[in-house]
Structure 1
């Protein structure tokens, strides 16, 4: 009699459990995220950088009244009269690097988070539900904040104008050396809590805003989730994402900028350094909610076209080379 006839049947409980697995070609997808995300991020940074310079200068004004700048237009005017267009783009090398790192890291970790959810919780779902996408956005932001804080630290220090006339503004290498001498390696992560709050919540709003508006467009036109939207719809969704990202968690960014641009030479000897919470309390006491949102209008104004451009460039590259 054949051996198969004497085989002991295997029950479902005795079969080895299948482990969830990520999709293949993760290496190639990671390269695409890095290249496409970096390209889109740097392109968006060229558009928004002068507005970002004005935002940082408004945020980092000393608490003493009267303020140096009365508003965004006055800040633009004074900055242009002092240094011209070059002054508005001062320190762009660090944020260009930061934009490449930030955007590529955001898209890469956002996709990885989605793949992990599909491999575990949503194994039978092609399109993740909206709350899951928001969670993936938050996860990508928290990861990205670790890479972004040192770059933003140097960027903010370069964007703030020198108080003493006639002094040559230090370059990025000088500032990097100065930070390391004063605070060591961990000094580059000064303001990390502010970046973490902003990036975690902001990225949830960024990807959530984009996915939410894109979903509405697809529902109205009866498109599937795998079809590409027209460019103008991608840009509208991207603009919505940019405004959502900046407005909701702007106070955390304001506190971070003030913390990172603190003039250490003015601190009394052996005095304690300010913390994220102490800066926040002082700013709230001195200027209230208006101080927390100083520069928010111009930030949202520049983030709309910048995010629209970032998403449309990334989606375009994904479509043609994906």
Structure 2
């Protein structure tokens, strides 16, 4: 990896405005751009699957029932709500990959902590920073919930309507997002290298692409499973407009009781794992491919 190669080189003095500083800035920008393009590709392909998953998270219905809901909504509404994830996910993944590299470089230069700890902290900081974009995730939730189809016309209309409830309303569901982003980033960046090393050695570009897809898909499935209950709580919290802000614990216990206290009912979303494999496979493969090309 680029970051590993940088570790082996002796530290050099880089003066402000020097060619070295400009090259470092270009290298940093590359990670942001690759993350952005990887997210765009993923959203365009997987949005209908994500929408079916959302219905399952929110209402605890089976796969066929979620698909029937989408069929009843019609083709016109299939991509309703895609603008917020395009705006949010592209920016989020650009920040995720770019800030991780920037924070890693900064911490490795200015701290003497073990590299594993330093990179884990960089991943947490990147994930926490991503939470600034919570309003986009909030609007996406409202637009995907059929109960709000007649209330919010589009992304911009939903943003305007939430103004009446105060700024805090845009960040409803922030706690589960923070609980998800930091730890999931640590696992993703920490395990990406070791998993790829366990795969068969790649000798061609296409083989590397396949390995990157498998690596991303495995990580996506694992992280999707681990943090699925957190996303269920987030969906419930963000589907509400106005009223009290209930704690993560209260909302989780409410959902737990509604689903008869059964873990299998809480994790009732097979498309989630399929989508996670496809989604993170696309993201990781696209990101690594673009990183080589740029």
Q: What TM bracket, shorter-length normalisation?
A: 0.7 to 0.9
Correspondence 1:293 to 2:267: yes
2:5 alignment partner in structure 1: none
Residue 94 of structure 1, CA deviation: 0.7
Q: 1:236 to 1:222 in 2, by over 3 A?
A: closer
1:143 alignment partner in structure 2: 129
Q: Deviations over 1:43-85 (max 9, x none)?
A: 0111221111112112222xxxxx6x3x1122112311x1233
For the 8 Å contact 1:207–1:241, the answer to whether it is kept is: no
What is the alpha-carbon distance in structure 1 between the residues aligned to residue 170 and residue 68 of structure 2?
Answer: 32
Q: Deviations over 1:206-237 (max 9, x none)?
A: 223322212334xx6499xxx99711111111
Correspondence 1:190 to 2:172: yes
The counterpart of 1:232, out of the listed 210, 233, 236, is 210
What is the alpha-carbon distance in structure 2 between the residues aligned to residue 176 and residue 291 of structure 1?
Answer: 33
The counterpart of 2:254, out of the listed 274, 282, 285, is 282
Residue 169 of structure 1, CA deviation: 5.0
Correspondence 1:96 to 2:78: no
Residue 303 of structure 1, CA deviation: 1.4
The counterpart of 2:106, out of the listed 95, 98, 116, is 116
2:138 alignment partner in structure 1: 153
For the 8 Å contact 1:283–1:291, the answer to whether it is kept is: no
Q: 1:279 to 1:247 in 2, by over 3 A?
A: same
Correspondence 1:105 to 2:65: no
What is the alpha-carbon distance in structure 2 between the residues aligned to residue 276 and residue 262 of structure 1?
Answer: 14
Of Structure 1 and Structure 2, the greater helix share is in 2
2:198 alignment partner in structure 1: 216
- Say which SS state the counterpart of residue 74 (structure 2) adopts: helix
Correspondence 1:206 to 2:161: no
Residue 275 of structure 1, CA deviation: 2.6
2:227 alignment partner in structure 1: 249
Q: How does 1:255-274 map to 2 (within 5 A)?
A: 255-264=233-242, 272-274=244-246
Runs of 5+ consecutive residues of structure 1 not aligned to the other structure: 1-17, 62-66
Residue 170 of structure 1, CA deviation: 2.1
Runs of 5+ consecutive residues of structure 2 not aligned to the other structure: 1-10
2:292 alignment partner in structure 1: 319
Q: 1:301 to 1:20 in 2, by over 3 A?
A: farther
For the 8 Å contact 1:205–1:244, the answer to whether it is kept is: no
- Say which SS state the counterpart of residue 230 (structure 1) adopts: helix
Residue 292 of structure 1, CA deviation: 3.4
For the 8 Å contact 1:209–1:237, the answer to whether it is kept is: no
How high is the TM-score relative to the length of structure 1? 0.76
For the 8 Å contact 2:229–2:267, the answer to whether it is kept is: yes
Q: RMSD between aligned alpha carbons? A: 3.0
For the 8 Å contact 1:193–1:276, the answer to whether it is kept is: yes
Q: 1:132 to 1:88 in 2, by over 3 A?
A: farther
Q: What is the count of residue pairs matched by the alignment? A: 276
